[in-house]
Amino acid sequence: MIYKNITIEVKEGVAIVKVNRPKALNALNSETLEELKRVPEELENRKDVKVVVITGEGDKAFVAGADILEMKDMDPVQGMAFSSKGHEALSKIENMGKVVIAAVNGYALGGGFELALACDIIYASDKARFGFPEVTLGIHPGFGGTQRVSKLVGLAKAKELIFTGKMITAEEAFNLGLINKVVPHDELMEEVFALAETIKGCGQIAIKLAKECVGKSLSLSIEEGLKLEAANFGLCFGTKDQKEGMTAFVEKRKPVFKGE
Ligand code: CAA
């Protein structure tokens, strides 16, 4: 597929997706959201892609938010449509059947923070900054921030972040439980590839099924969640990967998973 504001490079089973509007600090306009929506559609069925990494072009920003220039003159109907477009793109990323890692290389603000939160695992450079500056612009988070953050850190912390618009460091985001790891800026991609390597070596169907269970755990009751877990656990036993994984254990060798 041809993209204008996104680049995709596939290297040894890992797709590196870069938001590529460095002049606007990779801000998300409608066109970029449309392209982001197409990324999971393109990568989902590619056998040569096991793990997806999302990052921002340049050294300064992951994504500095939704595009303020585009939003400036919107009316309420356009504002709602823009929010829905963001929800659609980020939900597609969140629900991909592959692990998506956010490599946060700089500012992750507003819609950029929300994009990172739609990913499964967030690794951040020690130079990264997170925050929801929306209220300083007279709006509030619109790409899922008001819903996803409280589920992660509880209402009190979510309200403080959203009501103040204050930026926090990567270390603070880590201490709040919003991100997985903070690494020295120059080692970010190296650390992300090491993580991807570990994930690539495991059973990909099992990961996909586990991702569905964990993803839905926040919205299902415990009874419903356990039913889903039992069903997906059962599905694992219909895969060649399960036979290979357990046979390899018994034979004391490394498994060779084929994602089948
Ligand atoms: N939208 C559009 N353009 C943006 C942008 C954004 N979100 N963020 C940065 N840019 C542009 C700037 O306008 C500037 O363009 P020009 O060179 O043409 O003037 C360029 O990127 C570089 O930015 P700065 O000169 O401002 O860089 P800086 O280093 O001085 O500051 C910054 C960096 C603190 C990130 C600052 O750019 C900033 O505050 N950006 C806006 C962040 C923000 O408010 N994000 C939330 C947007 S609202 C949202 O996301 C809603 C939602 O939930 C859906």
Note whether residue 255 is domain-resident. Answer: no
- What is the span of the domain harbouring residue 243? 204-250
Return d(Cα 44, Cα 255) in angstroms, integer: 24
How many CA atoms are closer than 13 Å to the CA of 81, on its beta-carbon side? 10
Residue 229 and residue 143 share a domain: no
Grade residue 1 by pLDDT with cuts at 50, 70 and 90.
confident
pLDDT digits (tens, 9 = 90+) for 37-63: 999 999 998 989 999 999 999 999 999
pTM of the full predicted structure? Answer: 0.97
Q: Which atom of ligand 1 is nearest to the CA of 61?
A: 35
Residue 121's SS3 state is strand
For all residues of the chain together, what is the average pLDDT?
A: 97
User: Does residue 31 carry a pLDDT above 90?
Assistant: yes
Residue 241 and residue 144 share a domain: no
Return d(Cα 54, Cα 57) in angstroms, integer: 10
Q: Which residues contact 241 (CB under 8 A, 6 or more apart)?
A: 203, 204, 205, 206, 255, 257, 258, 259, 260
pLDDT digits (tens, 9 = 90+) for 82-120: 999 999 999 999 999 999 999 999 999 999 999 999 999
Q: How many domains does the chain have?
A: 2
* Residue of 19, 68, 71 with the most ligand 1 atoms within 8 Å of its CB, for mutation: 68
Residue 239 and residue 186 share a domain: no
Give me ligand 1 centre to Cα 38, in Å. Answer: 24
Note whether residue 22 is domain-resident. Answer: yes
Residue 77 and residue 13 share a domain: yes
Grade residue 181 by pLDDT with cuts at 50, 70 and 90.
very high
Catalytic center residues: 114, 134
Residue 239 and residue 161 share a domain: no
Give me ligand 1 centre to Cα 230, in Å. Answer: 46
Answer yes or no: is the C-beta of 255 below 6 A from any ligand 1 atom. Answer: no
Of the chain, the end-to-end C-alpha distance in Å amounts to 26
Q: Which atom of ligand 1 is nearest to the CA of 82?
A: 54
Answer yes or no: is the C-beta of 144 below 6 A from any ligand 1 atom. Answer: no
The CATH number that applies at residue 230 is: 1.10.12.10
Q: Which atom of ligand 1 is nearest to the CA of 25?
A: 21
Answer yes or no: is the C-beta of 25 below 6 A from any ligand 1 atom. Answer: yes
In this structure, are residues 200 and 51 in contact, taking their beta carbons and an 8 Å threshold? yes
For residue 223, the tally of other CB atoms under 10 A from its CB is: 8
Answer yes or no: is the C-beta of 119 below 6 A from any ligand 1 atom. Answer: no
The CATH number that applies at residue 77 is: 3.90.226.10
User: Does residue 21 carry a pLDDT above 90?
Assistant: yes
Give me ligand 1 centre to Cα 25, in Å. Answer: 6
In this structure, are residues 85 and 30 in contact, taking their beta carbons and an 8 Å threshold? yes
Answer yes or no: is the C-beta of 111 below 6 A from any ligand 1 atom. Answer: yes
pLDDT digits (tens, 9 = 90+) for 221-244: 999 999 999 999 999 999 999 999
**What does DSSP say about strands 51-56 and 99-104: parallel, antiparallel, or unpaired?**
parallel
Residue 236 and residue 169 share a domain: no
Query: Token digits for 82?
Result: 């823009």
